[in-house]
Chain A
Amino acid sequence: ETGVTQTPRHLVMGMTNKKSLKCEQHLGHNAMYWYKQSAKKPLELMFVYNFKEQTENNSVPSRFSPECPNSSHLFLHLHTLQPEDSALYLCASSQRGLAGNEDEQYFGPGTRLTVT
């Protein structure tokens, strides 16, 4: 167990639904991330939270809305998604130095999302 958990593990939703993905890290890290993993594509960074502040929004459509209430929890709120949004959504966490230098990212198991 890497210390990063995600719920739900699988989610099927219609295009008009609203749902949320949850991520929790038990590693005491100060940075959390959302990635999208589609078939035959690299891991795509969506959002970065550093010390609970969003520091990166990688041109993600507004139908994806992140929330980071504290350094241990991260949510991804979903609404009016499209079928092409079907993918594995991975959460990760890491410990960043004051200079923002990168370190190992620990991934959660992911949520397999299917949009019908």
Chain B
Amino acid sequence: GENVEQHPSTLSVQEGDSAVIKCTYSDSASNYFPWYKQELGKRPQLIIDIRSNVGEKKDQRIAVTLNKTAKHFSLHITETQPEDSAVYFCAASIRGNLIFGKGTKLSVKP
């Protein structure tokens, strides 16, 4: 069935380094790809999203790239800070609903 694969499951970086999380999806009809951040004990919150008509989108230290041919998209966080520590989920829209990846636990060490 349709699914979204997300890697890595855990990621530890030093403060100031960059972090990259990658996702692949199976349904070529998917056209919306959001990224959510979930801090411990809190609700998931959208941090950035991209639609299939663009290949890249940037918002300050966060960027997302999309390769529709290869069916993969990535989240890039530059100049990481301790407050970036959280679980990050990618998702792809399939028939109008979101299918989520398993999440990446990002730890930023000061």
A interface list, Cβ under 8 A from B = 2, 33, 40-43, 45, 48, 50, 55-56, 90, 96, 100-110
Query: How far, in whole Å, are A2 and B43 apart by their CA atoms in the complex?
Result: 10
- Mask: chain B, 33-72; 1 = CB below 8 Å from A; 0 = not: 0101000001111100100000000000000000000000
Q: Are B43 and A42 in contact (CB under 8 A)?
A: no
Interface hub of A2, A48, A50, A107 (most chain B Cβ within 10 A): A107
Query: How far, in whole Å, are A106 and B36 apart by their CA atoms in the complex?
Result: 10
Q: Are A104 and B49 in contact (CB under 8 A)?
A: yes
- Give the distance to chain A from B65, nearest Cβ to Cβ, in Å: 19
With A42-B103, A56-B97 in contact, is A108–B49 under 8 Å at CB? Answer: no
Query: How far, in whole Å, are A108 and B31 apart by their CA atoms in the complex?
Result: 25
Q: Are A42 and B93 in contact (CB under 8 A)?
A: no
Q: Are B44 and A102 in contact (CB under 8 A)?
A: no
Closest chain A residue to B89, Cβ basis: A43
Query: How far, in whole Å, are A54 and B97 apart by their CA atoms in the complex?
Result: 13
In-complex Cβ contact of A101 among B31, B34, B36 (8 A): B31
In-complex Cβ contact of B45 among A43, A56, A107 (8 A): A107
Q: Are B97 and A45 in contact (CB under 8 A)?
A: yes
With A40-B102, A42-B4, A42-B101 in contact, is A102–B46 under 8 Å at CB? Answer: no
List residues 86-106 of chain B with CB under 8 A from any CB of chain A.
89, 91, 93, 96-103
Closest 9 CB pairs of A and B: A102-B93, A43-B100, A100-B96, A107-B43, A102-B32, A42-B100, A42-B102, A107-B44, A104-B46
- Give the distance to chain A from B84, nearest Cβ to Cβ, in Å: 19
- Give the distance to chain B from A92, nearest Cβ to Cβ, in Å: 8
Q: Are A43 and B44 in contact (CB under 8 A)?
A: yes
In-complex Cβ contact of A102 among B42, B45, B98, B100 (8 A): B98
